[in-house]
Amino acid sequence: MAMAATSSATVRSYNYTPLRTPRGGNPRPRMAVRSSSLSVSPILTNLQTNCATPLPVLRHVADAMADEMRAGLAVDGGSDLKMILSYVNTLPTGNEKGLFYALDLGGTNFRVLRVQLGGKNELVIDTEFEQMSIPQELMFGTSEDLFDFIASGLAIFVEKESGRFSLPGGRKREIGFTFSFPVKQNSIDSGILIKWTKGFAVSGTVGKDVVACLNEAMERRGLDMQVSALVNDTVGTLAGARYWDGDVMVAVILGTGTNACYVERIDAIPKLQGQGQVPISGSTIINTERGAFSNGLPLTDFDKDMDAASINPGEQIFEKTISGMYLGEIVRRVLVKMAEAGALFGEYIPGKLSTPFVLRHVTPDLCAMQQDNSNDLEAVGSILSKISGDQVQTNLSTRKIVVEVCDTIVKRGGRLAGAGIVGILQKMEQDSEGLIYGKRTVVAMDGGLYEHYPQYRKYLQDAVTELLGSEISKNVIIEHSKDGSGIGAALLAAANSKYADYYLEGRMTL
């Protein structure tokens, strides 16, 4: 999540040395080393101690996650977890035919996708997609500006539709709208924005129907399309993965932010009693909004300072501890502390390293540093020089410390993410009389953090295995579902098409 304009770092009784000019850079002030008690080694030791995730900590997190889920299902507002009803009660079966679009807004980019469906014999015939970056200013602008930008990108994409794709006559193009922020859904194709997350602070959208916002923007752009399904990215991922594998029961996103959804029995949702607009039996998909979880997490002063300086202090603590937007920022804060207190980088504190969230998009760099097996950690030195903004010269000892810091933060994040998955499975197992752990159960996983960070994946899987034991964990399959939310949204648009007579045959309830 983006930080406030000013850093939360507090300068206490440090004395500044005179300005010196590092080679190839501008003058940078450096804080004098205060004492040996504040050297780098104790800071690293304290960090590792406070970030430790032994099995009892993981068990507490998993148990607390399951308890919070039940509380959120019992009554709205009963838990930090919103446990939002998705209104997805039917899934695509493979019978769907035609052209469908997906629009995926969930982070610093948005994607548009089209998919041609061919029915039982051909399934997905063809797909095309484009990804577009959202300008930083729009993340803090007005609702109209953001949705106009999205509608414009969608219109340009539609204009490029080639002859490989065909729309049945007399029908509008239909969209599955993946909107990966907390929404209180009213139906499969409408929902009220509860709050922005992941660094967005757009004015004029909270409390409004996001589908209406998109429709109005498309009308202003002259784009004749309609939204048939509004889904969270986790819901889209689950639907897309289950299209190919009927054992998929949970979907998790681990990218810029994090969230999870799962298949829940209607009779296990007390807060739905007496609501006539929902099915009285069967199952549906619940969007947990698990990023807001906070119970029993091992936090450090660096986490607390980052949270205090964020645009949503006190919120999304689980997300701030395990997801891609924050891992680099926590590492940066640790390195700044080490530079100030223990002269980690020698005489100078790299100027760029003082900028909040300068490491927010360098997950590949953190990963590369952890994977550097050379004797002198040359790759680590090169990366530090690149991300610091100065020609910083580091010795082997400094490079080893930086790798230890990265590993400590990433290990905590991966293991807590694994505990969060087990919490969901545990809740499902306890409520379903052994129907989860006793058979093959698939967790569909998407997101750049999971996809591109093998160390993180390993720590996550290790935690799942430790918590479940080797035998049960063999039945829990974590599968990468790349770009699943986009395909899934298009499939859900088809399954919930406005032209119901065209797709009615063979619909499948959950």
Q: Tell me the residue length of the chain.
A: 510
In angstroms, how far is CA 58 from the centroid of its own chain? 20
Last residue of a domain, one of 176, 207, 231: 231
User: SS3 for 66-118, per residue?
Assistant: HHHHHHHHHCCCCCCCCCEECCCCEECCCCCEEEEEEEEECCCEEEEEEEEEE
Residue 343 lies in a domain: yes
69 and 213 in one domain? no
How many percent of the chain have pLDDT more than 70? 87
Judge whether residue 83 has pLDDT over 50. Answer: yes
Catalytic residue among 195, 198, 411, 427: 198
| Domain at 95, CATH number | 3.30.420.40
**Token digits for 144?**
């109209």
pLDDT band at 213 (very low <50, low <70, confident <90, very high): very high
202 and 155 in one domain? yes
Q: Is 198 a catalytic residue?
A: yes
Residue 15 lies in a domain: no
Contact 359, 51 (CB under 8 A): no
204 and 91 in one domain? yes
Judge whether residue 409 has pLDDT over 90. Answer: yes
Q: What is the Cα–Cα distance from 245 to 477, expressed in whole angstroms? A: 12
Backbone angles phi, psi at 478, to 5 degrees: -100, 115
Which of 393 and 88 is assigned the larger pLDDT? Answer: 88
Residue 112 lies in a domain: yes
Start-to-end Cα distance in the chain: 34
Contact 399, 346 (CB under 8 A): no
Residue 22 lies in a domain: no
Judge whether residue 2 has pLDDT over 80. Answer: no
Q: Is 305 a catalytic residue?
A: no
pLDDT tens, position by position, 237-278: 999 998 889 899 999 999 988 999 999 998 899 998 866 566
- Domain interval for residue 155: 87-231
405 and 344 in one domain? yes
361 and 463 in one domain? yes
pLDDT band at 20 (very low <50, low <70, confident <90, very high): very low
pLDDT band at 509 (very low <50, low <70, confident <90, very high): low
Judge whether residue 6 has pLDDT over 80. Answer: no
Judge whether residue 15 has pLDDT over 60. Answer: no
- Tell me, what's the pLDDT at 507? 52
280 and 163 in one domain? no
> What average pLDDT does this structure show over 280-293?
88
pLDDT tens, position by position, 31-76: 333 332 348 899 999 999 999 999 999 999 999 999 999 999 999 9
Residue 123 lies in a domain: yes
pLDDT band at 400 (very low <50, low <70, confident <90, very high): very high
Residue 505 lies in a domain: no
pLDDT tens, position by position, 132-181: 999 989 999 999 999 999 999 999 999 999 989 988 777 889 999 999 88
> What average pLDDT does this structure show over 407-429?
97
- Tell me, what's the pLDDT at 65? 98
- Tell me, what's the pLDDT at 280? 58
**Token digits for 49?**
């101690």
| Domain at 437, CATH number | 3.40.367.20
Residue 353 lies in a domain: yes
180 and 67 in one domain? no
The H or E element that residue 327 is part of is helix 324-342
> Sign of the C-alpha dihedral, residues 241, 242, 245, 250?
positive
Judge whether residue 502 has pLDDT over 60. Answer: no
Domains contained in the chain, number: 2
Last residue of a domain, one of 231, 252, 272: 231
91 and 48 in one domain? no
> What average pLDDT does this structure show over 316-323?
96
Q: What is the Cα–Cα distance from 174 to 170, expressed in whole angstroms? A: 12
Judge whether residue 483 has pLDDT over 90. Answer: no
pTM value? 0.83
- Tell me, what's the pLDDT at 181? 87
Q: Under DSSP, is residue 284 helix (H, G, I), strand (E, B) or coil?
A: strand
pLDDT tens, position by position, 188-197: 999 999 998 8
Cα Rg of the chain, angstroms: 24
Judge whether residue 499 has pLDDT over 80. Answer: no
172 and 313 in one domain? no
Q: What is the average pLDDT value for the chain, to the nearest integer?
A: 85
- Tell me, what's the pLDDT at 238? 95
408 and 289 in one domain? yes
271 and 202 in one domain? no
CA-nearest of 304, 362, 313 to 333 is 304
> What average pLDDT does this structure show over 82-109?
86
Which of 6 and 336 is assigned the larger pLDDT? Answer: 336
Judge whether residue 19 has pLDDT over 70. Answer: no
Last residue of a domain, one of 231, 257, 289: 231
Q: What is the Cα–Cα distance from 16 to 315, expressed in whole angstroms? A: 35
The H or E element that residue 445 is part of is strand 441-446
Catalytic residue among 80, 209, 233, 446: 233
Q: Give the residue carrying structure tokens 């590949």.
A: 364
Q: What is the Cα–Cα distance from 413 to 162, expressed in whole angstroms? A: 43
Q: Give the residue carrying structure tokens 């939360």.
A: 8
Residue 239 lies in a domain: no
468 and 359 in one domain? yes
